[in-house]
């Protein structure tokens, strides 16, 4: 079995474990203020870290390329309240455009 | 029998239709994410089957995007799994909210758990959990969960099959579609100065650590930012 399959299966089991835990564990554990605050902050921190790394990293080096232009376009689209698919397509199109005219790698 | 809106049966009929219409609308809206997910996953190197397995069995968008994103970036399986599962932790809290409203056991509870995601929980808590013993809230949860499940999976398949025909993802700017997908997922959570501070701090930490750690690990380390933010919030509230 490939490494991708292991990742897919283990992560799927982990995510389901979180879902079923919420329906099964005693409420008093998850209702602690600290646990709730951390859980609110966790998606914000992880998703913004993913945005940064996926925009500026190539392996372990940082570089500014067409993806940064795509991200700027995505932010503008979000500020204009564009739906998800439009945000993603606009970002891809702008990045592809920058590459096509040779402005960036 | 009166035909005014105050009649409980008629009132329920109207409310029920409203809930079902909302459920379908939310399902259609998530289809847009589903198409993007399917396309990004397949152009990034996962098979159509792996992509579809994620949408059926993992069925939580942020975690699916994270797993695929970290794998594509060369982050390795362990970081990809850890990032994905950490993002899925919030569903546990949705379960805590939903369990007393749904009151299900056995196989029904296992299915309810699978459908416990952002959308189904949001629609359920927008309805009264006291009135009529939470009937509206339960209907909103189940109808939204099932609607999103169906549309999300059909959209994933369409995106995955469509993207198999595309070729080099960089030419189409699809590597830029991944961060765009993540910023769109986090955007509704960036509600105030505090959430922006947490997000920008995490982004800075991840970039600063990128040259020194294996791909995938810097993102995981930002979980520490979330812990610090949580501790600070609790202390501030205790001091106030």
Number of domains comprising chain A: 3
Contact A66 B178 (CB under 8 A): no
Same-domain pairing of A79 and A54: no
Q: Which domain does A73 fall in, by range?
A: 64-105
Question: Given CB atoms, is B95 within the 8 Å cutoff of chain A?
Answer: yes
**Contact of B182 with A49, CB cutoff 8 Å:** no
Q: What is the 3-state secondary structure (H, E, C) of B169-196?
A: CCCCCHHHHHHHHHHHHHHHHCCCHHHH
Torsion of Cα atoms, B52 then B55 then B57 then B62, to 10°: 140
Mean pLDDT along residues B228-232: 94
Residue A58 in 3-state DSSP? strand
B4-18, B43-57, B225-239: segment of lowest average pLDDT: B4-18
The DSSP symbol for A57 reads E
Concatenating the DSSP letter of every residue in B32-49 gives HHHHHHHHHHHHTT--HH
The single residue listed with the structure tokens 């209702």 is A31
What are the tokens at B82?
A: 């850890």
- Give the tens place of pLDDT for each residue, B10-54: 888 888 999 999 899 889 888 878 998 999 999 888 999 999 999
> Which residues 19-48 of A are in CB contact (within 8 Å) with B?
19-25, 27, 30-31, 33-48
Same-domain pairing of A40 and A9: no
Q: How far is CA A31 from CA B22, B189, B231, in A?
A: 29, 20, 15
Ranges of each domain in chain B:
8-188, 190-240
**Rounded distance, CA B46 to CA B61, Å?**
16
Task: Answer whether residue B4 shows pLDDT above 60.
Answer: no
Question: Exposed/middle/buried for A54, CB within 10 Å: 0-12, 13-18, 19+?
Answer: buried
Most distant CA atoms of chain B, gap in Å? 74
Going by C-alpha positions, the residue among B74, B50, B43 that lies closest to residue B164 is: B43
φ/ψ of A57, rounded to 5, equals -100, 140
Going by C-alpha positions, the residue among A47, A36, A19 that lies closest to residue B199 is: A47
Same-domain pairing of A77 and A104: yes
**Contact of B111 with B145, CB cutoff 8 Å:** no
pLDDT at B1: 46
> Which residues 46-85 of B are in CB contact (within 8 Å) with A?
46-47, 50, 53-54, 57-58, 60, 62-63, 65-67, 69-71, 73-74, 77, 80-81, 83-85
Contact B230 A41 (CB under 8 A): yes
**Rounded distance, CA B88 to CA B56, Å?**
15
pLDDT at B86: 94
Question: Given CB atoms, is A6 within the 8 Å cutoff of chain B?
Answer: yes
- Measured between beta carbons, which residues in chain A are less than 8 angstroms from residue B195? 44
Contact A20 B95 (CB under 8 A): yes
Task: Give the residue, B138 or B127, on which the prediction is more confident.
Answer: B138
- Give the tens place of pLDDT for each residue, B78-122: 999 999 999 999 899 899 889 989 999 999 999 999 999 999 998
Same-domain pairing of A26 and A46: no
Contact B206 A83 (CB under 8 A): no
Residue A52 in 3-state DSSP? helix
- Give the tens place of pLDDT for each residue, A23-50: 998 777 777 888 888 888 988 999 999 9
Residue A104 in 3-state DSSP? coil
Task: Answer whether residue B6 shows pLDDT above 90.
Answer: no
The single residue listed with the structure tokens 């850890």 is B82
Task: Give the residue, B68 or B7, on which the prediction is more confident.
Answer: B68
**Contact of B67 with B219, CB cutoff 8 Å:** no
The single residue listed with the structure tokens 């994410």 is B33
Grade residue A103 by pLDDT with cuts at 50, 70 and 90. Answer: confident
């Amino acid at each position: 079995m490939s490494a991708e399959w292991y990742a897919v299966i283990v992560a799927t089991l982990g995510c389901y474990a979180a879902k079923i835990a919420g329906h099964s564990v005693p409420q008093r554990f998850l209702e602690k203020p600290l646990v709730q605050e951390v859980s609110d902050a966790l998606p914000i921190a992880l998703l913004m870290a993913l945005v940064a790394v996926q925009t500026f990293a190539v392996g372990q080096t940082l570089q500014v390329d067409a993806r940064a232009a795509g991200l700027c376009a995505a932010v503008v689209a979000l500020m204009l309240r564009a739906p998800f698919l439009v945000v993603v397509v606009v970002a891809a199109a702008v990045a592809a455009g920058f590459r096509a005219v040779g402005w960036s790698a | 029998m009166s035909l005014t809106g105050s009649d409980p049966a008629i009132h329920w009929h109207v409310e029920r239709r409203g809930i079902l219409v909302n459920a379908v609308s939310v399902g259609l809206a998530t289809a847009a994410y589903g198409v993007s997910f399917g396309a990004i996953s397949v152009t990034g190197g996962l098979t159509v089957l792996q992509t579809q397995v994620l949408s059926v069995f993992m069925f939580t968008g942020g975690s699916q995007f994270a797993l695929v994103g970290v794998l594509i970036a060369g982050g390795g399986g362990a970081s990809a799994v850890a990032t994905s599962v950490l993002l899925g932790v919030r569903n546990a809290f949705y379960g805590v909210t939903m369990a007393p409203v749904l009151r299900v056991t056995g196989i029904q509870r296992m299915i309810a758990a699978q459908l416990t995601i952002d959308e189904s929980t949001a629609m359920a808590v927008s309805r009264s959990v006291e009135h009529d013993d939470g009937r509206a809230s339960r209907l909103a949860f189940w109808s939204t969960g099932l609607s999103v499940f169906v549309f999300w999976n059909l959209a994933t398949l369409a995106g995955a099959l469509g993207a198999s025909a595309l070729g080099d993802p960089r030419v189409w700017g699809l590597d830029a579609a991944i961060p765009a997908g993540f910023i769109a997922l986090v955007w509704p959570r960036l509600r105030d100065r505090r959430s922006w501070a947490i997000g920008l701090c995490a982004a800075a930490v991840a970039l600063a650590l990128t040259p020194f750690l294996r791909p995938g690990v810097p993102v995981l380390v930002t979980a520490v930012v979330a812990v610090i933010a949580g501790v600070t919030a609790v202390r501030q509230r205790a001091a106030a």
